[in-house]
């Protein structure tokens, strides 16, 4: 599993690097696969609402109404139909890549199991939604899908009636067809909205819209595809004829040729087995996360910084339990949500290293495995070993570029669980304690392992997010480089240039 994961990760890192050059980090499509999926759903929804207007929900007229849209009103309904189709296909790609990428980045185990676990049934709902949509065209492909679905359902011993008997009269009843339309138009979408909400319910700052430029680019691309290659139907369904050559949508209908070849029993076994295997991924093998953050109540001022910045909603503000006056709230950590990233520590107003030497630092919220006191000790140790006129202290995330290559007599490194753990006063501290310059580095921009780390520290430094960096700090002596695994040369180059240009 580890070999597979690291191979996938290397491939993604390589691909993302190229796309960063083309799109820039902020608009890299691979950094926005989840929000792109949401965007495609919006396209599906809007186009779906439009094509429902001329659509006839009856066996006799459904095909003709779709043909009318495709050929007579091709300039609007036809384009909408094609957009509906191609956005549905695009969403399968983005969801699949999203799934593989989260696996590659190892962001699906430990306390992050929930999003993965709920994502798998969400994907199935998307597939069901797509399959039920193909049914509504009521062409030969729809007939093939309908009979295949009936075969699949009838195989289940728990279903009392036999679905395929609906087709034996030579035609499907309007009632049955309306049931399928109901499932596609309302039943499955409602279930999908609920599952999607569940999927993202354990993270905060959910981003459901991709950057505008990416949304526009994707939409224009799908629109052009709809104009150049409009979606068309097969011939009308006819239950006295067997479908012969089919232009199958492999994104959604791949199970049907499988049924033809191996039978419905194996189709259930295969899809059920793969689903179960994927759902069990977070425990194959399980990962032991570091201990969660702990609230040190006597030091907690109830400022709410941790609850505001926590990317996983693990910190929340609740009425104070120690009766302290003037601070009605205290932070409370939900250990089942805490990834031990330390971002709350960086957001805490009491994470100040400027205190008496020798005094053990206490803070309102702390990380048992990497305490604030330990962080200051590490910083002090690193600063003590620094020599040279242009000495640098590097605060770097453990998940980003390999920092060992930077170590030298004039360059010290302090490794952190996440760059978002840095309280801005630490940068001030390092500069005042002797470092000529400070480097902050971590995962590539837009690709923080803990979702928001690099964005949060940048905003703190820019003064747009609390806790702010003190105005007296010389910003020119601080370099921020976002460099992921494999970007060591880039990091080294930027650090060398910074030393040359700013500290020379």
Partner 1 sequence: MNSAFRYLMQGVFYAAFCGVVYYFSTSPRYQYLDADKSEIMVAFKHPTKRKEVCHERTAEELQKLPPNMRRPQDCPRERADLSIRFSLDGKEVANKSFVSPGIHRDGSVFVYAKFFIPAGEHRFKVEMRDSVQEGYDFTLEQPITFKPGQMLLVSFDENTDKFTLK
Q: In degrees, to the nearest 5, what angle opens at C-alpha 238 toward C-alphas 236 and 244?
A: 85
Nearer to partner 1, 169 or 404 (CB): 169
113-136 and 140-155 helices, crossing angle to 10°: 130
Instruction: Kindly state the smallest distance separating residue 17's Cβ from partner 1, in Å.
Output: 12
For residues 284-343, which are near partner 1 according to CB under 8 A?
Answer: none
Instruction: Kindly state the smallest distance separating residue 162's Cβ from partner 1, in Å.
Output: 5
Task: Work out whether 242 is an interface residue with partner 1 (CB under 8 A).
Answer: yes
Task: Work out whether 260 is an interface residue with partner 1 (CB under 8 A).
Answer: yes
Tell me which of 179, 191, 227, 248 binds partner 1, using CB under 8 A.
248
Question: Cβ–Cβ contacts within 10 Å for residue 61, how many?
Answer: 14
- Could you tell me how many residues of this chain bind partner 1 (CB under 8 A)? 45
Buried b (16+ CB within 10 A) or exposed e, 410-434: bbbbbebbbbbbbbbbbbbbbbebe
Task: Work out whether 23 is an interface residue with partner 1 (CB under 8 A).
Answer: yes
Instruction: Kindly state the smallest distance separating residue 3's Cβ from partner 1, in Å.
Output: 27
Here's the x/- map for partner 1, 216-235, by CB under 8 A: it reads as -xx-xxx-xx---x-x----
Q: How far apart are CA 52 and CA 104, in angstroms?
A: 39
Q: In degrees, to the nearest 5, what angle opens at C-alpha 433 toward C-alphas 356 and 374?
A: 55
Question: Cβ–Cβ contacts within 10 Å for residue 286, how many?
Answer: 10
Decide: 178 and 135 in contact? Cβ < 8 Å: no
Coil, strand, or helix at residue 67? helix
Q: How far apart are CA 400 and CA 419, in angstroms?
A: 9
Q: How far apart are CA 80 and CA 64, in angstroms?
A: 16
Task: Work out whether 19 is an interface residue with partner 1 (CB under 8 A).
Answer: yes
Which stretch, 243-251, 276-284, 307-315, 478-486, contacts partner 1 (CB under 8 A)? 243-251
Task: Work out whether 97 is an interface residue with partner 1 (CB under 8 A).
Answer: no
Task: Work out whether 22 is an interface residue with partner 1 (CB under 8 A).
Answer: yes
In the chain, what is the straight-line distance between the N-terminal and C-terminal CA atoms, in Å?
48
For residues 160-199, which are near partner 1 according to CB under 8 A?
Answer: 162, 164-165, 167-168, 170
Here's the x/- map for partner 1, 24-53, by CB under 8 A: it reads as -----x------------------------
Tell me which of 32, 81, 84, 85 binds partner 1, using CB under 8 A.
85
Decide: 45 and 221 in contact? Cβ < 8 Å: no
Q: Which residues bind partner 1 (CB under 8 A)?
A: 19, 21-23, 29, 85-86, 89-90, 93, 144, 147, 151, 154, 157, 162, 164-165, 167-168, 170, 217-218, 220-222, 224-225, 229, 231, 239-251, 257, 260
């Amino acid at each position: 599993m580890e070999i597979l994961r690291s191979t996938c990760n290397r491939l993604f890192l390589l691909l993302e690097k190229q796309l960063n050059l083309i799109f820039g980090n902020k608009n890299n499509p691979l950094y926005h696969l989840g929000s792109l999926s949401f965007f495609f759903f919006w396209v599906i929804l809007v186009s779906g609402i439009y094509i429902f207007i001329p659509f006839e929900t009856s066996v006799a007229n459904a095909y003709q109404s779709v043909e009318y849209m495709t050929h007579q009103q091709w300039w609007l309904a036809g384009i909408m139909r094609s957009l509906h189709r191609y956005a549905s296909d695009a969403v399968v790609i983005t969801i699949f890549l999203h799934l593989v990428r989260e696996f590659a980045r190892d962001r699906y185990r430990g306390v992050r199991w929930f999003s993965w676990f709920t994502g798998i049934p969400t994907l199935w709902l998307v597939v069901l939604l797509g399959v039920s949509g193909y049914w509504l065209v009521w062409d030969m492909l729809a007939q093939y899908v309908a009979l295949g679905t009936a075969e699949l359902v009838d195989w289940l011993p728990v279903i009392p009636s036999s679905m395929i008997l609906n087709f034996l009269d030579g035609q499907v009843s309007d009632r049955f067809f309306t049931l399928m339309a109901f499932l596609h138009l309302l039943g499955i979408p409602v279930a999908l909205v609920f599952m999607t909400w569940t999927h993202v319910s354990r993270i905060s700052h959910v981003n459901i819209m991709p950057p505008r430029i990416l949304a526009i680019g994707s939409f224009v691309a799908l629109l052009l595809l709809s104009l150049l290659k409009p979606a068309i139907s097969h011939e009308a369904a006819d239950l006295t004829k067997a479908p012969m050559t089919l232009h199958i949508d492999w994104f959604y209908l791949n199970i049907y040729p499988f049924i033809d070849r191996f039978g419905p029993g194996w189709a259930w076994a295969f899809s059920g087995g793969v689903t179960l295997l994927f759902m069990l991924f977070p425990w194959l093998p399980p990962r032991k996360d570091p201990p969660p953050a702990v609230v040190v109540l006597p030091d907690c001022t109830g400022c709410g910084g941790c609850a505001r910045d926590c990317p996983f909603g693990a910190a929340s503000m609740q009425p104070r339990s120690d009766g302290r006056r003037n601070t009605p709230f205290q932070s409370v950590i939900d250990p089942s949500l805490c990834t031990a990233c330390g971002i709350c520590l960086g957001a805490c107003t009491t994470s100040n290293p400027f205190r008496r030497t020798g005094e053990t630092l206490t803070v309102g919220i702390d990380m048992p495995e990497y305490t604030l006191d330990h962080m200051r000790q590490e910083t002090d140790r690193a600063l003590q070993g620094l020599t040279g006129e242009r000495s640098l202290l590097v605060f770097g995330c453990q998940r980003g570029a390999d920092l060992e290559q930077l170590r030298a007599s004039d360059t010290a490194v302090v490794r952190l669980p996440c760059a978002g753990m840095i309280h801005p006063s630490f940068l001030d501290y390092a500069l005042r304690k002797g470092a000529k310059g400070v480097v902050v580095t971590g995962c590539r921009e837009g690709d923080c392992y803990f979702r928001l780390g690099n964005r949060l520290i940048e905003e703190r430094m820019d003064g747009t997010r609390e806790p702010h960096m003190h105005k007296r700090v010389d910003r020119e002596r601080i370099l921020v480089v976002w460099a992921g695994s494999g970007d060591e040369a880039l990091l080294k180059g930027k650090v060398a240039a910074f030393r040359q240009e700013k500290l020379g």
